[in-house]
Each structure stands twice: as structure tokens, then as C-alpha cells.
Amino acid sequence: MKILSVNAGSSSLKFTLFELPEKKELINGTFEKIGLNDSFYSIKINGEKTKKEASLKSHADAVNILIKELLENKVISSLEDLDGVGHRLVHGGNKFSKSVIINDEVLEAAEECIELAPIHNPANILGIRTFMKALPNVAQVAVFDTAFHQTMDKEDYLYGVPYEWYQKYGVRRYGFHGTSHRYVYKTICEELKNDKLKVINCHIGNGSSLCAIDSGKVLHTTMGFTPLAGVIMGTRSGDVDASIIPFIMKKENKTCEEVVNDLNKKSGLLGISGVSSDSRDIEDGIKEGNERCQLANDMLCKSVANYIAMYNNMLNGADVITFTAGLGENSILTREAIGNLISSLGVKIDKERNNVRGKMTLISSDDSSIPVYIVPTNEELMIAEDTYELIK
């Protein structure tokens, strides 16, 4: 089957076409600056990447060009060759605990979650409607970032706030990056030939979250009602005292929305270092002796290490720790630093094994109490596989 995996943003559209069940990637690409004057797209096929300028006034223009490229590059001979389209949706609230075939009821429920993800869900839904119009005879599937975390117990997803806030407004921990966490868990279980593993997965990138998983059930995850909570990230603060918000509102004469924007877009590695939100720039700063870059990296590593220790306790001893996403897969320095900070758990990172980027491999020493792996994530493939399973 040929399955198209899609992630529609407000001004972008990313796609990958897979042949399943072989897991063969046929073509991928990104449409950028949709609705803007300088729009363009890039296509990668057979290892070769090409960039083309195009007038992308709407997502419909992007979808039409995408279909044209699939045909011209002969990855499909006709639209009948497309068996399904899987769509990423950021938020499914507490309505969806798994991926589903899209119908009017699913779209209506996703629209009800817009207030929980006002930036992402409208763009995701727009992408779905555009593909449904362009490909009316092709099955469409919704894959929710929040779905995997719906297995959390109530005492773990509720906050210590008035219970009525949960009843009336759905105030609770939802968690995000669920598609990535699920993919990594599935992959490490296959690698170790054990589907009952207790795993602490560290998805560390510009946005970061950790997840404690026991036999496929999520016990806890660091992101919360929004992706702002948890560990320090590229531009997000992670956990802070909520009283900081009214305090800064008064001191800086800012609105609540402006302070929350600062916590989302001007904090984290960027806010502490004053240099960049990109860990590569932070590491360059450390080499140059920049103390604030060192401080930012130390704070990030310590926040991750503290959650690992907490999750190891929740799991009553983890079977494996996994690192994934941009930093998790590629930052040798960050993985080693985090490993050193959890040495009290008996974790030992092997310097030689850890000297690798973006590769599925064991990075802990043979005498480490908990084995530690790099597991490159592939959310696009997870979306495609869910679509394949639902329509086959």
C-alpha cells in the first residue's frame, strides 16, 4: 500500500509517501510560506533534493502541486495508487486515545479542541479538509499527538487545582509528542524483543518532553495542559511558579498573554544564554568559554536528569532509557552530561559508544544498571503505519 503521511502547519505542509508494510520511503518534501509572497517547496527523492519557487496562495495550491509531483516523479501512476492519507493532529483532548479514520464526527470533535491548541489544530484541520476535497476517494486518518498519553491514571493527569476546572474546562495534563514516544517505545521493544518493557523516553529537541511507559501504558509525561510545561527547552521555560506571571505583568507593564508569550518564545536555552535556542550554538558558546551558554546547558541537563530519576521511581526501576529527537539523537555532550547526573541510579555512559549521532545504538557501558539507547524517532512512519493498520 502507498500511504501519504502529512503534517499541515499554518503556513507549511510536510509530507512523506511510504510503501507499506515494507516501510520504504518513496518521496518526501515540504511546502513553506504558504499564503506569503516568497513561497517555495522542496522535494527529496532517491537521495536528491530539489527546491522550487511556487505561488502557494493556499494549502489547496500546495496539495495540487504535491499530487502533480507524485505523478511526474512516477511514484504513483494515478490517484488510484494512493491507498490512504494520515494526518498529524496536535490535540485530541480526552476524546481520542488512538488514531481513527476521519469522518464528520471526528472533524467536529477536533474542532472542539481548537481552544486547547489554537495555533496547531486549525492548521491541521485545514490540511485535512484540503486533502479530502482533492482526494475524495482516498481514506483519511487522524493521528493525535495527545492520544498515547490518554492511558495515564487520573491521579497523574489531574492538577491540584479546583476540581471544577477539570469538569467544566478540561484543565488537566494532556502531554504531547505522543506519536514520537509511541514510535520509540515500539522500536525499542522490537530491538530488545520484549513488549513489556519499562521505558523512560527522552524526546529532547527544540521542544522537549520525557515519558515514563510501562508495558505500553503511559504513567506520566512532562508536558502538561500545554507544551510549555516540563523540562527547559529551546525557547520554552519548562516548569515555573505560576505566580511569576502576575509579578512580571506588574513589573514590566505587560498583559498576561505577553508574559506567556515570553515564557513560550523568549525563555529556555535562548532566555538563559542570550545567544540562541539552538543547542549547536550553545555548544559552540561553551567551547568559547561563554558562561551563560554553559549555565543554559547545565540547567537543561539537570531538568532532564531530575525527571529521569522521578520516572525511574514511578516505574519501580526502568528497564531502559532512550534518547530521541534533535538533541537526544545528536548531542553527544548533552547525553553524557545527563548520564553523569543520574550516576546515582547506576547509569554509566560509555564515551566511545556515545560518540555517535542519529543512529540506533546502545551508548551505555556493559555494567550500567540501566541500558541507555539512542533511538531515532520517525513520527511520519508512525502516522503512516497507523493509517495502514486502520485501512488494510
Q: Would you please indicate which residues are annotated as catalytic (active-site) residues?
A: 145
**Gyration radius from the chain CA atoms:** 21
Question: CA-CA distance, 313 to 318, in Å (whole number)?
Answer: 8
Q: Which three three-digit cell numbers place residue 47?
A: 537521495
Q: Give the CA distances from residue 223 to residues 233, 364, 388, in Å, rounded to whole numbers and listed in that order.
A: 11, 26, 29
Closest CA to 111 of 121, 101, 100: 121
User: Are 130 and 148 a contacting pair, CB within 8 Å?
Assistant: no
Smallest CA-to-CA distance from 217 within 267, 156, 171 is with 156
> At a CB cut-off of 8 Å and minimum separation 6, what does 174 contact?
91, 93, 94, 116, 146, 149, 157, 223, 224, 225
Extract the C-alpha cell encoding 67. Answer: 499530487
* Beta-bridge partners for 211: 201, 221
In angstroms, the CA 116 to CA 124 distance is: 13
Name the grid cell of 95.
476524546
DSSP label at 364?
B
**DSSP characters over 258-300:** HHHHHHHHS-HHHHHHSS-S-HHHHHHHHHTT-HHHHHHHHHH
